[in-house]
Amino acid sequence: MSIEARSLFDRSTLVFLGALTLVSILVPIFNLLVPENSTFHVSTYTVTLLGKYLTYALLAVAVDLVWGYLGILSLGHGAFFALGGYAMGMYLMRQIGDRGVYGHPVLPDFMVFLDWDSLPWYWLGFDQFWFAALMIILVPGVLAFCFGWLAFRSRVTGVYLSIMTQALTYALLLAFFRNEMGFGGNNGLTDFKEILGFSLQSDGTRISLFMCSALALGLGYIACRFIVASKLGRVSMAVRDAESRTRFIGFKVEYIKLAIFTFSAVLAGVAGALYVPQVGIINPSEFSPLNSIELVIWVAIGGRATLYGAVIGALLVNYAKSYLTVELPEVWLFALGAMFVLVTLFLPKGLMGLLGKFKLGKAKTEQPAVAEEASA
C-alpha cells in the first residue's frame, strides 16, 4: 500500500467512518422499530436535530480544510453555506405549486404578495431537482473561484483576506434582505411541502434526510482526507507554513489556494442544501458574519488540521447551544465566548491537541517501564 493510501485510511479515518456508519444505522432503527414508550426510542425531532448537526459537521470540515491545512482563516464560509441553502430552498418553493396561501400555480407566495406578475429568469429551472443540485454546486463554487482568483492573484493574505471574506458575506446579507432581489427578503423561503415527491413532514423523509446528511459527511470527509494525503495536500501545508519559500521553489501558490478554497466552498454549499429541508427555512440571517465566526470557533475547539476534530467541535458546540438556549438562554453567548477564550489560551490545538498530548505523555511513561523489563 502506498504512503498516500496509508495516510488516507489511517486509524482516525477508519474510527470516524466506523462511528458515523454505526450512528447512521442505529438512529433509524431506534426511531422506526423501537416503541415510542421505550427509553431507547429516538424521536423524529431528535433525528432532525441530529441531521442538522451532521450538516454543521460537514461545514466545519470544509472550514478546517482551508484553515487547518492551507492557513486561510475564512470568515465567509457561512455565505457559501447559505447560497447552497437558497438553491435548495428555491427548488422546494417551486414544488409547492398551487398549495400555497394564494394558490398561484407558479409564483411563490411572497412574489404574489409583492404583486410580481412573472417568475424571475434566475428562478427558471428550479422546478427540476437535477438543475437545483447543479446550482448547489455551481453557485458557491463559482463565487469562491471568482473571489479567490482576484484575492490570491493579488497576494492578499492574513487578516486582510479574513476581512475580505467577512465583507463578502456581509454584502450578500444586505443584498438578500432586499425584497426586489426575489429571494423572500427578510422572511426568506419557507413553508416547504415536499422533496422529490415525498412529504417533508413524514418520518421516512426525515430519516432519509438524516442518512443523506451522514453520507455527505462521510464522502466529504474522505474527499478532504484524500486531498490532505495527496501531493496537493502536502504542498498546501507548505504554503501554510512557509508561503514565500513554497513560491520560491516554483509552485503556483495561487492555483493551490484557489483549488482548495473552491472545493471547500462547494462542500459548504452541499451542507447548506441538506440543512434547509431539515429545518424548514432559509433566510438572510444565515449570511450573518457572526455565523461564519461561530464556524471558526467550532474548528478551534475541536482542533485544527485534524478534520475529525472539526466534526467533534461542531457537534459539541451545537449540542451545548441546543441545551443552553433552552435551559439558560441568557448564558449561551457568554458560554460560547468563554469556551473560545479558554481554548485559545490553554488549548491552542483544541481538544484533539489535548488528547494527543495525553497519548504522548502516556507513551513516554510506558517506554521506561518496557526498558526496565527488557534489562531484567
C-alpha radius of gyration, the chain, whole number = 22
- Across the range 156-175, mean pLDDT stands at 95
- Across the range 239-267, mean pLDDT stands at 96
- Across the range 189-213, mean pLDDT stands at 95
Q: Which pLDDT does position 361 carry in this prediction?
A: 61
- pLDDT(331) > 80: yes
- pLDDT(371) > 80: no
* Separation CA 357–CA 313 (nearest Å): 18
Q: Which pLDDT does position 30 carry in this prediction?
A: 95
Q: What is the mean pLDDT of the chain?
A: 91
Tell which residue, 57, 16, 48, has the closest CA to residue 279.
48
- Across the range 22-48, mean pLDDT stands at 94
Q: Which pLDDT does position 341 carry in this prediction?
A: 85
- pLDDT(134) > 80: yes
Q: Where are the alpha helices (DSSP H) in the chain?
A: 3-8, 11-32, 44-68, 77-94, 109-113, 129-153, 158-176, 203-229, 231-241, 243-248, 253-279, 289-302, 308-327, 332-346, 350-375
- pLDDT(182) > 80: yes
- Across the range 114-124, mean pLDDT stands at 94
Amino acid code (one letter) for 70: L
Query: pLDDT tens for residues 268-307?
Result: 999 999 999 999 999 999 999 999 999 999 999 999 999 9
Q: Which pLDDT does position 367 carry in this prediction?
A: 57
pLDDT above 90 coverage of the chain, percent: 80
Number of Cβ within 10 Å of residue 139's Cβ equals 18
| Angle between the N-to-C axes of helices 203-229 and 308-327, in degrees from 0 to 180, rounded to the nearest 10 | 140
pTM beyond 0.85? yes
Q: Which pLDDT does position 11 carry in this prediction?
A: 85
- pLDDT(351) > 90: no
Band (pLDDT 50/70/90 cuts) for residue 207 is very high
Q: Which pLDDT does position 6 carry in this prediction?
A: 58
